[in-house]
Amino acid sequence: LLNVIVNVKNITSKCLWLLAGLCMTANAQFNIPEYIRIGLFYNSTAKQALTISGENIVVKNESFEPLSGNSYSIGIGESGFLINDVLYQVDNLEFVSENNIIKVDDKPYRGFIRLLLTDKGINVINCVELEEYLYGVVPLEMSTGWPIEALKAQAVCARTYAATQLGKFEQYGFDLTDNTLSQVYGGINAEKEDCTRAVNETEGMVATYDGKIAEVFYFATSSGTTLDVKDVWGTT
């Protein structure tokens, strides 16, 4: 294991890494996004109908005056969306709550929700601040209760992964999925206090290699055989 010394906001901590040669930095020169778009439902899982609820939600589209309410039943109508059984002939909607918490079929998320109408149904996208997104990732990729330094290392890895995967699913209107096609994200229901602390204490930090944001990948099992990185990923 490589022992890496990290300095952020004059706080020094030690993290153990499995990947020798990486270092961690919060240098502003790197393109770390403030927001990230997470696909909750799309393509084969696209919704035919759903409910969006929360505190004082505003529904936005440039084609009509914003709507305001606490709960919306959304369906598909002729060339548009049905919002509480009223047809709006648009192909996208945004739902923004007053308190930054919004529910999709009773499952709560931070940020806001964007809906895109496709030939498969309704793509449901959670647009959320990167740091708040990580609140819902770290507990599912490394369990709560692990040593705080391990959780902080996971937070840095998850942030690095997100920063290097922007636009991977642009054809569907988002950056990453909420499952193992990207990294698992469970919204507010997944959040744990120690994991949130780990995210906050590493805010803005990413792993770097050779002066660039490192490409980091997940794997679940190993046969015991190792190969050079260029033989697996085609790069050095």
Task: Compute the Cα dihedral for 176, 181, 182, 188 and give only its sign.
Answer: positive
- C-alpha angle 208/209/213, rounded to 5°? 45
How does pLDDT run across 172-218, given as a tens digit for each residue? 999 999 999 999 999 999 999 999 999 999 999 999 888 888 877 66
- If you average pLDDT over residues 114-136, what whole number do you get? 98
Asked if the model's pLDDT at residue 77 lies above 70, the reply is yes
The pLDDT value recorded for residue 223 is 62
The pLDDT value recorded for residue 9 is 30
The pLDDT value recorded for residue 126 is 98
How does pLDDT run across 137-185, given as a tens digit for each residue? 999 999 999 999 999 999 999 999 999 999 999 999 999 999 999 999 9
Asked if the model's pLDDT at residue 18 lies above 50, the reply is no
Q: Mean pLDDT score of the chain, rounded to an integer?
A: 86
How does pLDDT run across 213-222, given as a tens digit for each residue? 887 766 655 5
Give the relative orientation of helices 148-164 and 193-201 as an angle to the nearest 10 degrees.
Answer: 60
How does pLDDT run across 19-30, given as a tens digit for each residue? 434 455 554 556
Asked if the model's pLDDT at residue 11 lies above 60, the reply is no
Asked if the model's pLDDT at residue 120 lies above 60, the reply is yes
Per the model's pLDDT, the better-predicted residue between 6 and 119 turns out to be 119
State phi, psi for 190 to the nearest 5 degrees.
Answer: -85, -15
